[in-house]
Amino acid sequence: MTDPIADYLTRLRNAIKANHRVVEVPASNLKKEITRILHEKGYILNYKFVEEGPQGIIKIALKYDPVNKVNSIKKMIRVSTPGLRKYVGHTDMPRVLNGLGIAILTTSKGVMTNKEAADLKIGGEVICYIY
């Protein structure tokens, strides 16, 4: 697999389209941090790390509106790919959906959202946009 983060986002996207309640993805430290951010920002209901096999599994409970049965994640866009990395400085921080969405970045201080990175005045690699 050349791009595990794109695979992670695609598994989430496919589970949302199929109206699944839980999706399992292979674990890595970066995927765990992205999942933690999604949970903190309210895009997913819950998550659990299962130590199984060589790397483990992340079980993610997706969040749906009880009335309309609509997921809280509308779109996930992979920005930086292995073939073309996208880096931003703290002055060029992306605004996703005019501030309603989030951009997830890897920085020297760890994985964080665009708002947290702008507050700390550090830049990094833009992993994805979520709204």
Taken in order of first residue, the domains within the chain and their CATH numbers are 4-62 (3.30.1370.30), 76-130 (3.30.1490.10)
Which tokens belong to 110?
């760890």
Mean pLDDT per segment of 10 residues, for the chain of length 131 residues? Answer: 94 96 96 97 95 92 91 94 96 94 96 96 97 94
pLDDT of residue 1: 78
Could you tell me whether strands 124-130 and 110-113 are parallel, antiparallel, or unpaired per DSSP bridges? unpaired
Please name the residues in contact with 82: beta carbons below 8 A apart, sequence gap of 6 or more.
2, 3
- pLDDT reported for residue 53: 83
pLDDT tens for 55-87 read: 999 999 999 988 888 999 999 999 999 999 999
